[in-house]
Chain A
Amino acid sequence: MAKNPVGPPLGQGARNAWKRMATERAIAALLFLSTFLSVLITIGIVAVLLFEAITFFADVSVFEFLSGTRWTPLFSSKQFGVLALVAGTTLTAVMAMVVALPLGLLSAVYLSEYAPNGVRKVVKPILEVLAGIPTVVYGYFALLFVTPILRSISGDISVFNALSASIVMGIMILPMVSSLSEDAMRAVPRTLREGAYALGSTKLEVSTLVVVPAALSGIVSAFILAVSRAIGETMIVTIAAGQNPTFTLNPFVPIETMTAYIVQVSQGDAPAGSIEFKTIFAVALLLFVITLVMNLLSQFVVSRFREEYE
């Protein structure tokens, strides 16, 4: 046997070093692969949605889809006007924000400007509990607690209606608005507040004329994220708002959101490849695009309009 030209100790060392480097490389490659997979998820979502949606749009024109106001794919006379679902989604999201924005913003002002430290440390996590409750629980609460109360106030309100779902959804996304807004307000330097107090401002004036405007980019971004969350929310509207696609802004009658429609079809047994089955991909694609745009917009607002303080 020919002797190793390099001396044994050095050779041993070199072999170990090679082994070590190979391990290092293999691990780096594995970690990279995992990261790549997270990017692949987005690509996968887009691919899956596009693939079926394209075959859907071979049967139904994009124009009909985006401009029609009647949505009846599950009936024998099929119409594919997604605006009926978009109207339901818009109605519930807007009304949820009508609840969540003022309550969330005022709560944030309270926590950031008024509450003593001890109170804030207790109240903030309790508020965030609201965001951690499963949405199916809210759905139950909306249908069986809020709706009967609303119906006892006005007889015009149906069992399934957008109003009840929206109120409860507003409560659910309230902590999102309040927590993110409060973070933005607390990032406003103390010296700005002092500058305003030194001119004789009351707390109201400091909060509304200085702190909120200075934190506006963070607040707007929180608001957009909350809208996006409301648009994508599924169980509350499925349970409490109905499964009746209606092109209306009347909050008292049953409607159907984009998300609730997807649940409705998923629960049935629409065979893969049928036009009913394909509709959920077209609707999900639209939903995905809308929420993606809102999320990007939210990030853009933060990075573009943030006031830089030292």
Chain B
Amino acid sequence: MLDQDPILQTRGLSVYYDTKKVVTDVNLDVARNRITSIIGPSGCGKSTLLRCFNRMNDLIPSARVEGQVMFDGLDLYGHDVDPTEIRYLIGMVFQRPNPFPKSIYDNVAFGPRINGFKGDMDELVERSLVRAAIWDEVKDRLNTSALALSGGQQQRLCIARALAVEPRVILMDEPCSALDPIATLAIEELMRELSEDYSIIIVTHNMQQAARVSHYTAFLMVEEARVGFMVEFGESRQIFTNPEDERTEAYITGRFG
């Protein structure tokens, strides 16, 4: 499907909550240094799919995963793989900004500290905040509480926090859904810049956003018989202008969902 060797690949991936199937047999390739968006109506399992890439589903006792997720040739669900190491390599930004109730500095330094960083922390914190385009706004108050920032600033801080350990992939779970339009544009701009160095997967219910920022798009759907199956995957340009499947077309033209 891709013209390059993908960084992440799922093969026959299904997720169950207890006995209820919420993601069904997904085969998806994620391109290196590109933005891949996952779209679909609510309840289609797109967030659950995203959480397979850093094994966050492990935290839900009733969740069970079937199939394979390959990360540069390594099976993420292999029996000798430690999920905490995966999460160090694959970062995540959440739907609502979730800064820790600590200072701005300590939020960014959290990941490097726990993972054994030995270099110049001040420099790393500054670099991460610059990279997340929030340095100028916070450089004079690094030791104040992160909870005092605006929603958009908090979300960029959370991106800086994820960047500080230099992950290979960044997962974004509807990162703008709690933000106003101006803050949303700032995050989108940031994502485009980051895609030069990082592979990004973004889950969004906002089709314009997917069309604006992503190189590739996967469309997931829910039907009566099946939940969370992938209808179509391709370059965003093609998906949003000339989809192959009529269900995709119906969704992007707003006829349902």
Contacts and interface: CB of A to CB of B under 8 A. Distances in A.
Contacts of A308: 147
B131 interface: no
Interface string A205-219: 100011001100000
Interface string A152-189: 00000000000000000000000000000000000001
Interface stretch (A9-17, A42-50, A194-202, A255-263): A194-202
B84 A191 contact: no
Contacts of B225: none
A202 B111 CA distance: 11
A116 interface: yes
A307 B145 CA distance: 11
Given A116-B61, A192-B100, A209-B114, A198 B92 contact: yes
Interface string B89-107: 0011010101111100000
A308 B54 CA distance: 29
Interface string B135-175: 00000000000010000000000100110010000000000
Interface string B108-137: 001100110000000000000000000000
Contacts of A202: 84, 114
A193 to B, nearest CB: 8
Given A194-B59, A213-B101, A199 B96 contact: no
Nearest to A191: B98
Contact of B111 (A117, A191, A199, A307): A199
A199 B110 contact: yes
Given A205-B114, A210-B100, A307-B101, A200 B84 contact: yes
A200 B100 contact: no
A200 B111 contact: yes
Give the most central of B99, B102, B110, B161: most A CB within 10 Å.
Answer: B110
B124 to A, nearest CB: 14
A199 B101 contact: no
A269 interface: no
B223 interface: no
Given A192-B100, A209-B110, A213-B101, A199 B94 contact: no
Interface residues of A, number: 23
Given A116-B61, A210-B100, A198 B114 contact: no
Contacts of B99: 195
A197 B87 CA distance: 7
Contacts of B165: 199-200
B100 A198 contact: no
A199 B147 contact: no
Nearest to A195: B98
Contacts of B18: none
B88 interface: yes
A59 interface: no
Contacts of A209: 110, 114
B255 to A, nearest CB: 33
A197 B165 CA distance: 13
B80 interface: no
B85 interface: yes
A189 B115 CA distance: 23
B56 interface: yes
Contact of B102 (A193, A199, A213): A213
9 contacts: A191-B94, A198-B54, A198-B91, A198-B92, A199-B115, A200-B85, A200-B165, A210-B100, A310-B96
Interface of A: 116-117, 189, 191-202, 205, 209-210, 213-214, 307-308, 310
Given A197-B84, A198-B87, A200-B88, 14 more contacts: A116-B61, A192-B98, A192-B100, A193-B59, A194-B59, A195-B94, A197-B59, A197-B87, A199-B91, A199-B114, A200-B115, A213-B101, A214-B101, A307-B147
